[in-house]
Structure 1
Amino acid sequence: MFVPRPHLCNLLQRERRRLQLLCAPAGYGKTALLREYVRGARGRVVWMSLGGQSQSLASLCALLAGELGVAPDTRPDALIELTGLTSSRAGSLPQLTAFRCGSEPARDGSLPGDESSKVRLVFDDLPAEMPDDLNHWFDQLLSLYNPHLQVLVTCRQRPDWNLPRLMLAGELLELGARQLALRPDEFESLVSLIAPHTDTASRESLWHATGGWCAGVRLLPSALLGQYLERELLSRLSDEQQEVLFSLAHLSKASVELCEQLWEGQQGAQRFQSLLDSQAFMFPIDHQPGWFRLLPAVANALQGRLGGVALNRLRLRACRLLSVLGHVDDAVEQALSADQPEVAANYMERLWLSWILNERHLGQFMDWRERIDPQLLQSSPRLIYLCAKALLFSGRLDETEACLQRLGRFLPMPDPQRNQRLLANWQALYGNLHALRGNAEPARRHCHAALRDLTAQDWLSVLLCHCTLARIAMKTGELNEAQVLLEHSLELARRHGNREAEVLVNTDRVQLMMLQGQSGLAQSLLRTELAQLNVRRTQPYPLIGRLLFLQGEWLLQQGRLVEAEQVAQSGLLQVRDCCAPFVLNGYLLLSEIASRNDIPEKAHLLLYEAERRMHWAKIDRAFFQAPLAEQKARMLAREQGEDGDKPVRATAVTDYQDGLTPREVSVLRLLAEGMSVREVGSRLFISVNTVKTHAKNINVKLGACRRTQAINSAKAMGILA
């Protein structure tokens, strides 16, 4: 089955470099792409299928001579000259027809237009190792300055040619696995061809296992992937390389330094580097220079090659080395895999408190919590605090409170200053807990009390308090106060160089801008953050998902349903393994889009899936019960023909509120009675500006553009009688 790659064909056509090099592991569609490209190209193509087999200078030149239609014993240097002449006068040698493309030749053998004299030499599946004289011959060929000659090469290992010189001269276009991997839309097309009934969860799992590896997409659902790897990968590796590869299948990451120590005295670094050079499906890890991971589909297929005592020994050694190299989370995982929970708990204490801010780590931490005896996790204040923070961010509020209460067993601390700091950090979490439950006043008290005693070392708790107070201020319409608090939080995150904290603060700032009616600024900030986070990132990243859901909401408010749906779907791919409450926003957004597109069954199915995911993640009902009920009411109103054009309730505030505040309900009720803004202010003893702020917040929360829409929506939801 063939999936067209027009964007890559266009790239090859647009970037007319002397050498176009496609270097990637087996199964990335290198040969298929070149065949697709040359079928649409004008000029002549000489196609050399080398099959990865060893070649000498004499054997390759004999093959080329045969394709050119000249004597097989033609000297190598004469072949280079002949190639240059042939490319200058493409029609002069009628034998050059091994692979003819494009329009028919004219009477003189040439092709019309600028491309008529173009000759493309294709060396398909170049061998990994070539003798020096053959490499020198290629360097001579590529040094020809002839605009009519182009060399295209597919290979699984970068050839030992003078590629830097070509790059500096602007004569090299190199495509690797990252560029050749299927894009999400191409992946969906391929899956629809080979298994059209594959459900969403299976598609997501297949996508993350293969990373767009074409052969993996086709073979992973079958039992043939192991055989494919045996033939296309393992048969090309030495026994020493295979030993390292089978071990790496059980590690989440590897580096030259780690492998040198893991196989001390056995040239571990050289073996690992040889695997990288051989394109053995080892890919760089985002934003971790020098670290690589084996493609998950390949790792899973190879894990059965190592087991028993040898595997356990590997895990324990890797556990110690990873911790020394600063990768404590990977050390914890290896300790648990080696059935050493005590060691894992010991390493967990060394995690930075800010580590959990990366929402991709949150699910990992919660998984560890399920695999470790609770007594071990209650053995120190730091472990209890870490667990409480993870539970809080995961939306498991009752468990958070129970966890926080266990800190009392360690109070008072022997050192008064440590005692004070522990209490302050405890109050910071309690403040956030109360805010999430909708208890604004206790939340304020705890946060302000915590801020009095928190030190510079507790910057993360200071930031948490500021953000909590800002969200409460947004909920009550005190937008100026919220802006000041968020600006303080942003500065704090930047001064400590914590990118995750900065992004999380900016999500609140986007929400504030939407409440302030600054839609353009909100979209500009979203674009900036997404552009920065998406740079060279290949693994799922929940923070990107959070931002994409906000962008989807913005697009929906602009009436751009198709774009909003695409963005929301992309967001769900980023949060596949995330267990945080904000994941609900993606499903609400997609449900609203389906409802507006008059697909009620799909809209209800998405809400069912959202509720299932909230239950599966054990998220407190306070986070999802009211938003789901509001969306169902909105859909019912649309199905009954009432206010079918109003937008979805903005996800800008769903993280910390479930509906209207009592004061907002009072304002809405008086407005529903027909009172003016000034009359409402007089009745409630508040200023006109405060009434307007409440009215704006009401519209955002109810997804309304006008007062009448807000009133009708509130009636449909049962907020107003």
Structure 2
Amino acid sequence: MPKRLNDSGLLPESLRLPRGHLPRPRLRDALLEAECRLRLLCAPAGSGKSVILSECAQQCPAGTRLVYLDLRGQPLSPEAWLQRLAFALGADSADQAGIRQYLEDHEQPLWLLLDNYPRFPDSELDTLLNDLIVSAPRRIHWWLASRRRPQLQLARLLLEGELFELDGSELAFTESEVADLVQIGGHHWPRPEVQALQKASQGWCAGIRLRLLGLQPGQPPQTERNDVLLLDYLKREVLNELPNDWQHALYSLAQLQEFDAALCEQLLGVGEGAHLLGQLTECGLFIESASEDGKHFRVFTVVAPLLASLLPVTMASALFRKACQWCVSQGQVRSALEYALKAGQPEVAANLMQHYTRDRMLQGRSLALLTQWCSELPESLLASTPRLVLLNAWTQLLCGRLDEAQEHANRLARFMPQPDAQHQQELIAQWKALVANLAFHRGAAEQSRPLLREAIDELPRRAWGQRLFCCALQIEQALIEGRFDEAQELNRQAIKQSREQASLAMESFFALSHVKLLEIRGELLRAETLLKHLYSELNAAWSAEASPMRARVQLRRAALLLQQGRYQEAEASFKSGLQDCLDCVDPAAFWGHLGLAELDALHGDLAGAFSRIADAERLMHFGHISVPLYQGLLLRAKARLWLIQGRAAQAEKALRNLSAEAIHFSPYGMPDLNLRLRLLLLQAQLANGAIVETVDALGAMRRQALEEGRRPLACEVGFSLAEGLYAANRQEHAKQVMLDALSMARQMGLASAERDFALRNPAMMRWAGKAGSHDSVPATLLTPRERDVLKLIAQGYSNQQIADALFISLHTVKTHAQRINCKLGVERRTQAVVRAKELGLAG
């Protein structure tokens, strides 16, 4: 490492690295490798800009002169700045022309580091700096660290390849860097503690350092952050030097989750608010973008609560009242409601809640917020109108709290009779819709069926949300009972009605129902394609906000990927969907835990799988979710693990102990759970030696599944039937059933079903392998076109070469390749070639 960093041969004191310094090659190397005039580090206070400059200075090349100038962020006149620059350079002249000439004549490569550039807007100073940067020879390298983004010709420099910039998000510490910093401090924290610190600080250097300050080596992390230290830091480094109107604006905006220029005009003064927002943003005062279009902002969440605490309570209440009024005028009901509650106006909040439509509950964190708002409002207000009672009942119902929903439904009787026949009929129809939904979710399908029909017929046109929820249950009942054509037609009509109402949330809701139908029929690729399109559409419409619908799309796709044997993709989707569910307090997080448990089991980590199931159960308990909605799903997950462990007796006992109502009940989202539980029971009986009667039951179940078009279920039952027939010494029949099941699994891409069978009975799979060259292997496993594509893959052709050879599009080639992988139960094209050769399909 070269040490001669300046003319004196000594490292400037300001460039010495601090104690406990963590090298950050990720940033340092990117800056050093950039070939450009200007390297700009622009981020708020405490982001570690000066330390990165120091780290780069340590790597100054031999033969390059380094000049460091700390401007301390203070205002400087152009003359004063030129004098300081001339002194640092050793230039004879301290005017602009003289310094330009000095840099022009300077033959030695020069690194000019300007740290803590003046923090307040100064167009004259910025113009002067821009002139020097643009006019200087390319051997002059400028390094600039600043809280505010200076008004330079940055776009031009960027287009010319003469700018490399790092902002606050790029300077933020990654999880691995936080872990290294914790270790340097002598701490040995488990990964969850490191992740918690990184998340709480958002990687902000000062936030991390202050959290670690005062901890002795080996001491566990503090459960609460030291707000006193952090606030003292903010006052000393940032707030005390701000003008009073800037401080007031910053404290006011910290009260809000999100804001734009128009809201700032309303809250901070017409003709002043937008200008103040621009100044705060330009000067790097913890204002960050909250939307992709750059029109919405928020205060940095790490410091927002502290800054908000500096605004007097009375002023904060007045601010919330004005924000509420503005949001109402803009039709932003959710934000208006939140501000009404914060302003201490429960009556206004209750009135606004009545404008919440049912489909809006499925958007963003609306359902979680409604639950929170209900807990904050007086009970007398919540029960004051039929609309509020209905809203709270549907909120509890969608959260899975059936008993609470029933209590609200019972309260509707207080509002009878209504003043006229029309309102009377409407309220009765609303009650029928609610009671029908409750009956369905309690497993009383026969009680639910007529009420659903009556509610759909009697609900007024404006209650389209409730009507569509009732339609969703009719579709689910059809799926449970195997009436798939009827389910498809009902779904088509419901999607049409959702589109007529321009409700993407409801349309997505029914798209997920259609995906489930495709999955039951074994059309996994179609289902996955639909989910990918749906996910893209939700992302485009709802940006980055966590959403129950988007989370459920991710979880559904993860389940499909798992069935296809694409385990890494499945794990990523399960984790992403689970996190989205947790962020918006959606009980569907339960599916994420169970999916990850299944993956743990596939990888042989049964202890981890049981732990995941316990997490799922705790989630349901803490959320006060009604037990009938999840007990069958939990038992299915546990029974599958018990069978893997060889504890078939325990699995059979637990399944038989389930009540008749529970074992025949399929909760919403899992319309074939009753059949899956029945299959598990038969598998447990088979493992426990009850062969003859179990084989008969499996045969009947397989025939019924095939008749109804439940191909994946028929495939899984077929594998179990083959095992039973083999155990009954009916080997020829067992071989045929097994080969049929293998063929069906590969045609649908059910790699996991094949793998489960192989793990349960490896001897039979070896037997199947020997039979692979036999005529009984179906020749129709791949279509003629798929075999053409596979032959070219085996010859080493790229996708584009295959497209050219077969005169088809590149997209078509990729679709064929994906289907080939699914049918052969593999993930990569090389594996597909090997598997196809085993089956004699690639010749």
Residue of structure 1 in register with 2:126 after alignment: 135
Residue of structure 2 in register with 1:705 after alignment: 753
Relative distance call for 1:3 and 1:663 in structure 2 (3 A) is closer
Name the aligned partner's letter for residue 160 of structure 1: Q
Q: Distance in 2 between matches of 1:597 and 1:26?
A: 46
Name the aligned partner's letter for residue 660 of structure 1: L
The secondary structure found in structure 2 opposite 1:123 is strand
**Post-superposition shift, 1:292?**
2.7
Q: Distance in 1 between matches of 2:693 and 2:92?
A: 93
Relative distance call for 1:687 and 1:549 in structure 2 (3 A) is closer
Name the aligned partner's letter for residue 91 of structure 2: A
Relative distance call for 1:550 and 1:187 in structure 2 (3 A) is farther
Residue of structure 2 in register with 1:332 after alignment: 337
> Contact 1:356/1:362 (CA < 8 Å) preserved in 2?
yes
Q: Distance in 1 between matches of 2:150 and 2:397?
A: 52
Residue of structure 2 in register with 1:222 after alignment: 226
Deviations 1:644-702 (A, max 9, x none): xxxxxxxxx975348733698399859973359986688x7x973546475369799x9
Name the aligned partner's letter for residue 496 of structure 1: Q
Name the aligned partner's letter for residue 477 of structure 2: I
Q: Distance in 1 between matches of 2:551 and 2:394?
A: 21
Q: Distance in 1 between matches of 2:55 and 2:539?
A: 29
Relative distance call for 1:409 and 1:9 in structure 2 (3 A) is farther
Higher radius of gyration, 1 or 2: 2
Q: Distance in 2 between matches of 1:693 and 1:254?
A: 50
Provide TM-score, normalisation by structure 1: 0.78
Query: Does residue 249 in structure 1 map to residue 254 in structure 2?
Result: yes
> Contact 1:123/1:154 (CA < 8 Å) preserved in 2?
yes
**Post-superposition shift, 1:561?**
4.7
Give the alignment partner of residue 114 of structure 2, picking from 123, 128, 143: 123
Name the aligned partner's letter for residue 552 of structure 2: R
Give the alignment partner of residue 591 of structure 2, picking from 550, 566, 585: 585
Relative distance call for 1:76 and 1:205 in structure 2 (3 A) is same
Residue of structure 2 in register with 1:546 after alignment: 552
Q: Distance in 1 between matches of 2:178 and 2:534?
A: 26
**Post-superposition shift, 1:470?**
2.7
Provide TM-score, normalisation by structure 2: 0.68
Query: Does residue 73 in structure 1 map to residue 88 in structure 2?
Result: no
Residue of structure 2 in register with 1:367 after alignment: 372
Deviations 1:374-407 (A, max 9, x none): 2211111211121112111111012112212322
Deviations 1:563-616 (A, max 9, x none): 544443443433334333211112222333344444444433333333222222
**Post-superposition shift, 1:26?**
2.1
Query: Does residue 621 in structure 1 map to residue 627 in structure 2?
Result: yes
**Post-superposition shift, 1:135?**
1.9
Q: Distance in 1 between matches of 2:645 and 2:699?
A: 36
Q: Distance in 2 between matches of 1:261 and 1:61?
A: 42
Q: Distance in 1 between matches of 2:413 and 2:88?
A: 83
The secondary structure found in structure 2 opposite 1:674 is helix
> Contact 2:432/2:451 (CA < 8 Å) preserved in 1?
yes
Residue of structure 2 in register with 1:634 after alignment: 640
Residue of structure 2 in register with 1:500 after alignment: 505
Mapping 1:162-561, distance limit 5 Å:
162-166=153-157, 174-182=165-173, 197=189, 200=192, 209-219=200-210, 221-223=225-227, 224-264=229-269, 267-286=272-291, 290-531=295-536, 533=538, 540-559=546-565, 561=567
The secondary structure found in structure 1 opposite 2:275 is helix
Q: Distance in 1 between matches of 2:25 and 2:492?
A: 45
Name the aligned partner's letter for residue 137 of structure 1: L
Give the alignment partner of residue 617 of structure 2, picking from 611, 614, 620: 611
The secondary structure found in structure 2 opposite 1:619 is coil
Q: Distance in 2 between matches of 1:520 and 1:514?
A: 9
Residue of structure 2 in register with 1:154 after alignment: 145
The secondary structure found in structure 1 opposite 2:577 is helix
Relative distance call for 1:324 and 1:516 in structure 2 (3 A) is same
> Contact 1:664/1:695 (CA < 8 Å) preserved in 2?
no
The secondary structure found in structure 2 opposite 1:673 is helix
Mapping 1:63-102, distance limit 5 Å:
63-65=84-86, 70-73=90-93, 75-80=95-100, 83=103, 92-93=107-108, 96=110
Report the more deviating stretch, 234-243 or 527-536. 527-536
Relative distance call for 1:55 and 1:450 in structure 2 (3 A) is same
Deviations 1:13-42 (A, max 9, x none): 888665454433223344455666777897
Mapping 1:105-124, distance limit 5 Å:
121-124=112-115
Query: Does residue 57 in structure 1 map to residue 84 in structure 2?
Result: no
Q: Where in structure 1 are there 5+ consecutive unaligned residues?
A: 87-91, 97-119, 643-652, 714-721
Q: Distance in 1 between matches of 2:173 and 2:530?
A: 29
Q: Distance in 1 between matches of 2:641 and 2:700?
A: 33
Relative distance call for 1:414 and 1:497 in structure 2 (3 A) is same
Report the more deviating stretch, 578-587 or 316-325. 316-325
Q: Distance in 2 between matches of 1:623 and 1:680?
A: 25
* Number of aligned residues: 670
**Post-superposition shift, 1:197?**
3.7
Residue of structure 2 in register with 1:674 after alignment: 695
Name the aligned partner's letter for residue 447 of structure 1: L
Deviations 1:239-296 (A, max 9, x none): 2221222233333333333333334479444334322332222233347974432233
Deviations 1:84-141 (A, max 9, x none): 676xxxxx427x4xxxxxxxxxxxxxxxxxxxxxxx6543332223644432233324
Q: Distance in 2 between matches of 1:137 and 1:666?
A: 79
Query: Does residue 25 in structure 1 map to residue 44 in structure 2?
Result: yes
> Contact 1:28/1:177 (CA < 8 Å) preserved in 2?
yes
Q: Distance in 1 between matches of 2:142 and 2:43?
A: 17
Relative distance call for 1:422 and 1:217 in structure 2 (3 A) is farther
Deviations 1:156-178 (A, max 9, x none): 22212234544666765555444
Relative distance call for 1:607 and 1:35 in structure 2 (3 A) is farther
> Contact 2:554/2:576 (CA < 8 Å) preserved in 1?
yes
Relative distance call for 1:671 and 1:193 in structure 2 (3 A) is farther
Relative distance call for 1:562 and 1:123 in structure 2 (3 A) is farther
**Post-superposition shift, 1:320?**
3.2
Q: Distance in 1 between matches of 2:503 and 2:141?
A: 47
Q: Distance in 2 between matches of 1:209 and 1:477?
A: 49
Q: Where in structure 2 are there 5+ consecutive unaligned residues?
A: 1-19, 212-224, 649-665, 683-690, 719-744, 762-843
> Contact 1:477/1:693 (CA < 8 Å) preserved in 2?
no
Deviations 1:213-257 (A, max 9, x none): 343344353342212212332134212221222233333333333
**Post-superposition shift, 1:559?**
4.5
Q: Distance in 2 between matches of 1:612 and 1:31?
A: 46
Deviations 1:534-577 (A, max 9, x none): 57956544444333333443444454555544443443433334
Identity %: 31
Name the aligned partner's letter for residue 140 of structure 1: D
Q: Distance in 1 between matches of 2:200 and 2:52?
A: 23
Q: Distance in 2 between matches of 1:570 and 1:191?
A: 27
> Contact 1:156/1:279 (CA < 8 Å) preserved in 2?
yes
Flag the structure with more relative contact order, 1 or 2, with Cα contacts below 8 A and sequence separation at least 6.
1
**Post-superposition shift, 1:414?**
3.7
The secondary structure found in structure 1 opposite 2:116 is strand
Relative distance call for 1:173 and 1:593 in structure 2 (3 A) is same
> Contact 1:206/1:217 (CA < 8 Å) preserved in 2?
yes
> Contact 2:548/2:584 (CA < 8 Å) preserved in 1?
yes
The secondary structure found in structure 1 opposite 2:338 is helix
